[in-house]
Amino acid sequence: MTEIRTDTRLSSQEEITARVKALEALLIEKGVMTTAAVDRLAEVYENEVGPQLGAKVVAKAWTDPAFKERLLADASAACRELGIGGLQGEEMVVVENTDTVHHVIVCTLCSCYPWPVLGLPPNWYKAPPFRARIVREPRTVLAEDFGFPVPDAVEIRVWDSSSELRYWVLPQRPAGSENLSEEELAALVTRDSMIGVGAPLPVGSAG
C-alpha cells in the first residue's frame, strides 16, 4: 500500500489515443488482426467484460452482508461466485470506503488493472501525470481533476496495484437507496467510484 497526495490531470490523452489508433492500423495492415476482430474485442470489453460486472458485485455486497465479508476477505473467490473472473483478475483485493477512510487505486509502474470487473482502463489511468501525482497529493487531484472533493476529516489511502495484486474499491452505498433492488443499485455504481476518483450516482439519477 502507498499513501500520499496529488494535483493535476493529464494533457496526454490525445497522444495516447493517437498511438492506440496507429497501432491498431498497423496490426490490421500487417494482417495480424482484422477490423472485425478489433471491433469484437472492443465489444467484449464494453458489454461482456466491463464496469457493469464490477457494479453487479458492488450491488451484491451492498445487499448481502455475508457476501460483502467474503468479498473483502478474498475478492477473486467472491467474484467467481458470480461467474466473474479471468485474466488480470486472478489476485484481486477490494478495499471498502467508509465515513472516515476513502481509497484510491493507481498503478505507478504501468497500468495494472482488474479487467474482469472494470473492463479496459481509461486513458487517464495509464497516463504518467496521473500515476505520479495521485500518490503525491491525492486530495488535490481528486478535487481539481475529477471534481470530487474529499473532506479534510476523511483519510485518503492510495493503493498501488501490480501484476501480483490488483486493487479496486467498494464504494459507499448512496443515501436513500434502501428500497432499491440489486439491479437498480448496480445502475448507480460507476467505474470511477470503483477506482476511487468518483462516487456512485445519487438515487434517481440512473437512466
Active site (catalytic) residues: 107, 110-112
Helix (H) or strand (E) holding 133: helix 128-133
Strand boundaries in 87-165, DSSP class E: 92-96, 101-106, 155-160
Q: What 3-state DSSP class applies to 9? A: coil
CA angle 136-51-65, nearest 5°? 90
Please tell me the total number of residues recorded for the chain in this structure. 207
Provide Rg for the chain, Cα atoms: 17
Query: Cα–Cα distance between 96 and 94 in angstroms, integer?
Result: 7
C-alpha cell at 192: 470511477
For residue 86, count CB atoms less than 10 angstroms from its CB and return exposed for 0-12, middle for 13-18, buried for 19 or more: exposed
Beta bridge partners of 170: 96
For residue 103, count CB atoms less than 10 angstroms from its CB and return exposed for 0-12, middle for 13-18, buried for 19 or more: buried
